[in-house]
Amino acid sequence: MVNNAEEILPKYWYNIIPDLPKPLPPPRDPLGAEFSRIDLLRTILPKEVLRQQLTIERYIKIPDEVRERYLAIGRPTPLLRAKRLEEYLGTPAKIYFKFEGATPTGSHKINTALPQAYFAMEEGVEHVVTETGAGQWGTATALAATMYGMKSTIFMVKISYEQKPMRKSIMQLYGGEVYPSPTDLTEFGKKIRNERPDHPGSLGIAMSEAIEYALNNHLKYLVGSVLDVVILHQSVIGQETMAQLDELGEEPDVLIGCVGGGSNFGGFAFPFIGNGRGKKYVAVASAEIPKFSTGEYKYDFPDSAGLLPLVKMITMGNNYVPPPIYAGGLRYHGAAPSLSLLMKEGIVGWREYNENQIFEAAQIFMRTQGIVPAPESSHAIRAVIEEALEAKKTGRKETIVFNLSGHGLLDLPNYDSMMRRIVKNEQR
Amino acid sequence: MSRDKLLVVYMTLGYPDNGRYLEFMRESVKNGADILEIGIPPKYAKYDGPVIRKSYEKVSGKFDLWSFLPETRKVIGNTKAIALTYLEDWVSELDSFLTKLKVAGLDGVLFPDLLIDFVDDYQMYSSKVREKSLNNVIFTAPSVPDRMIMEVSKQSDLFLYYGVRPTTGIPLPITVSSLVTRVRNLVDNKLVVGFGLSDENDLRKALKAGADGAAVGTAFIQAIEKGGVKDAVDLVIKLRSILDEF
């Protein structure tokens, strides 16, 4: 695989917008807005990042400097066959997974952190700021920033900050400043803390804090998920997977990924959808944050404070307070607008699984394939197992491909507490 | 005079006041506007930028729509004039709205929310506009898929309106030429590019890339604010001269 890495690694990012079945509802300012949120994006985003967010070309060239970094961090990531899992399930289906956990930061997030940091560095930025839920995005930002000689400040959702001390340590080792959100560093954080001192935080709140902090300190903000530009950068996952499947002579039938904001799913599945490859696409969310089954498709703010422009998406509402669950990356209240549109149109299907269901799936995967998946990615594994068992029932020889968006080696405390809860429940 | 490139001049109805609005419209036609877009203040200008939104606020309630629209027709002679307003506001009384537009002397209508908020039924609404012998100018944007741009291009009367930015008047970093080059191949009609195209360089790039014209609005409002109708008319003259370079 290493020998033809440069061939497998795409030269262009793929954007699904021109290939969507319907127009993507544009971002807009809220009724009676005192200031334009769209205008605000100019202040907080690196110029090239904003251009890529808005310029809806089908293919955008990946700068050579970014391609070099992609290669340096181990892209293309491996596409592996889960042969042992197939045998365990006794399914006629073939199961492949794209292993994004093979990157140094342990998840797919570095795919967009690198170009965003590069574009910021190119315009002379010295300090970037962002938020993080489970910690993967913050880790990727801290690494990308330091690789380009910049400082980083990261607002980490408080519950994750407490549950995942090692994530915090990695960010700090990379040189990032990490704060548990809600903080006292921003007006919005103070407001939330006054209302509810024990607030566990949410990605929407952390995002609002990061944006406010960036505005007040004239810093640039890096975006972790949801926006089109992030999915655009993540398209390296799906494009690599396509090339790797081609090398193997395989044609995918089912493509599966988990969804927090939608960037790993979109990056993985959109190149297939846009190219008409694959028959079934499944997005998987947490049953504890049931946005697919109970969320509405409407205009909503991506962040809790309402600083970003309204976008049309499947959402639980930007004021929704997600429960502190085992998979921090899936606690986001909405799903990316392009993914929401594809789900609304029935092109992408969905599933939701609870803690018990994903714990079981994670254990099966660990014991058959040896990889500890991130709890977020275990949602995709659960869907894969169900799909493979369904194929067993019907005798379908389909090819299932899923995105293992990150490893879970830094989520062991989460798995420990899951084990304790599940054992306790079983004893009752 | 027949010109190659279309100058589409937007102004909010009655802005900054009835007298100066009519003066600007008359002078625009004299100085090179091919088509006039008349902004009828909506309840929620969701796809407009802050400058146009403020202009709506300034004129709201200061005129009677149906008696004032014919005044525009009187000052612009035979020049084509289309209303720009949100379908959302008129959808419940669309039939009578379109009839009144026709009676008021308008040639057509452009609903910026047609393909976004009413996309499932846009053909039905387009037919209703045409049944009233009005032109139906369709608004598209980069977020409209290629297949759909090809489809609606044929159905848009006078020209296809392509807004290069998600909202009017905010100078976002868009590479106009690559957008226009891409969409040019999809459009089987006159392609007029708008939404924040007052920058001379951007305008030239758009025309060079194959646009058949430009629609400008925010810049005229800013010009009126700064130096009155004269400044805005000077801008019409300047834009006309740029278009005539091509």
| Each residue's pLDDT tens digit, B115-162 | 999 999 999 999 999 999 999 999 998 889 999 999 999 999 999 999
Residues of B in contact with A23 (CB under 8 A): 115-116, 119, 140-141, 143-145, 148
Of these residues, B4, B23, B27, B37, which one is catalytic?
A: B37
DSSP A144-212: HHHHTT-EEEEEEEHHHHHH-HHHHHHHHHTTEEEEEES-SSSHHHHHHHHH-TT----HHHHHHHHHH
Average confidence score pLDDT of chain B? 91
**Radius of gyration of chain A measured on its C-alpha atoms:** 20
CB contact under 8 A, A51 and B115: no
CATH number for the domain spanning A362: value is 3.40.50.1100
Q: Are B46 and B71 in contact (CB under 8 A)?
A: no
Question: Which of chain A's residues have a Cβ under 8 Å away from the Cβ of B44?
Answer: 31
Helix (H) or strand (E) segment spanning residue A128: strand A127-132
- B4-22 mean pLDDT: 96
Tell me which residue of B244, B236, B192, B232 sits closest to B31, measured CA to CA.
B236
Tens digit of each residue's pLDDT (9 = 90 or more) over B93-114: 999 999 999 999 999 999 999 9
Contacts of B182 in chain A (CB under 8 A): 18, 57-58
Question: Does a structural domain hold residue A234?
Answer: yes
pLDDT band at residue B168, thresholds of 50, 70 and 90?
A: low
Query: For A48, which residue in chain B has the nearest alpha carbon?
Result: B173
Is residue A342 situated within a structural domain? yes
Q: How far is A89 from chain B (nearest CA, A)?
A: 41
Using a CB–CB cutoff of 8 Å, tell me whether B224 touches chain A.
no
Check CB contact of B242 with chain A, cutoff 8 Å: no
Domain hosting residue A86, numbered range: 67-106+228-427
Task: Flag whether residue B60 sits within 8 Å of chain A, measured between CB atoms.
Answer: no
What is the band of B174 on the pLDDT scale with cuts at 50, 70, 90?
low
For B52, the closest chain A residue by CA position comes to A36
B80 part of contact set with chain A, CB < 8 Å? no
pLDDT confidence of residue A296: 97
- Residue A16 located in a structural domain: no
**Is the minimum CB–CB distance between B175 and chain A shorter than 8 Å?**
yes
Query: Please, are residues B41 and B227 in contact by the beta-carbon 8 Å criterion?
Result: no
In order of their start, the domains of chain B are 6-244 (3.20.20.70)
pLDDT at position B176: 80
- Residue B28: burial class (beta carbons within 10 Å; 0-12, 13-18, 19+): buried
A126, two tokens: 């010295």
pLDDT for A204 equals 86
Residue A280 resides in a domain: yes
A372-415: pLDDT as tens digits:
999 999 999 999 999 999 999 999 999 999 999 999 998 888 89
Residue of B nearest to A310 (CA): B46
All residue ranges of chain A with pLDDT < 50 are 1
Q: Which of A23, A27, A42 is facing B145, going by the closest CB pair?
A: A23
Query: How far does the CA of residue B100 sit from the closest CA of chain A (Å)?
Result: 28
- Whether residue B184 lies within 8 A of chain A, CB to CB, comes out as no
Given this model, what pLDDT does residue A1 score?
47
- On whether residue A364 sits in a domain, the answer given is yes
**Of A25, A50, A57, Cβ closest to residue B116:** A25
Nearest CA to CA, how far is B139 from chain A (Å)? 11
**Contact residues of A toward B, CB < 8 A:** 17-29, 31, 33, 35-36, 38-39, 41-42, 47-48, 50-51, 54-58
B45's CB contacts (< 8 A; 6+ apart) are B52, B53, B56, B86
- Indicate if ipTM > 0.90: no
What is the mean predicted confidence (pLDDT) over B75-86?
96
Q: Which helix or strand (DSSP H or E) is residue A220 part of?
A: strand A220-221
Domain annotation covers residue A5: no
Cα–Cα distance for residue pair A9/A243, rounded to 1 Å: 9
Q: What whole-number distance in Å separates Cα of residue A254 and Cα of residue A268?
A: 12
Predicted pLDDT of residue A70: 97
Q: CA of B176: which chain A residue's CA is closest?
A: A55
Would residue A292 count as lying in a domain?
yes
pLDDT at B165 over 80: no
Distance from CA of A152 to the nearest CA of B (A): 25
B57 reaches A (C-beta below 8 A): no
Q: Which residues pair with A79 in a beta bridge?
A: A98
Is the minimum CB–CB distance between B237 and chain A shorter than 8 Å? no
* Chains A, B: CB pairs < 8 Å: 90
Residues of chain B contacting A47 with CB distance shorter than 8 Å = 173
Q: How many domains does chain A have?
A: 1
Smallest Cβ distance to B116: which of A23, A29, A42?
A23
User: Concatenated DSSP letters for chain B?
Assistant: ---SSEEEEEEETT-S-HHHHHHHHHHHHHTT-SEEEEEPP-S--TTS-HHHHHHHHHHTTSS-HHHHHHHHHHHHTT-EEEEE--HHHHGGGHHHHHHHHHHTT--EEE-TTHHHHSGGGHHHHHHHHHHTT-EEEPEE-TTS-HHHHHHHHHH-SS-EEEESSSSTT------HHHHHHHHHTT-SS-EEEESS--SHHHHHHHHHTT-SEEEE-HHHHHHHHHHHHHHHHHHHHHHHHHHTT-
- Which has the higher per-residue pLDDT, B2 or B28? B28
**A381 is a domain residue:** yes
Say if residue B169's pLDDT is above 60.
no
pLDDT at B170 over 80: no
Contact B115 A26 (CB under 8 A): no
Question: What pLDDT does residue B104 have?
Answer: 96
- Which of A398, A280, A415, A408 lies closest to A348 in space, CA to CA? A280
Shortest distance between the Cα of A30 and any Cα of chain B, in A, equals 7
Q: Which residues of B82-105 are buried (b: 16+ CB within 10 A; e: fewer)?
A: bbbbbbbbbeeeeeebbebbbebe
Per-residue pLDDT tens for B187-213? 989 999 986 665 788 889 999 999 999
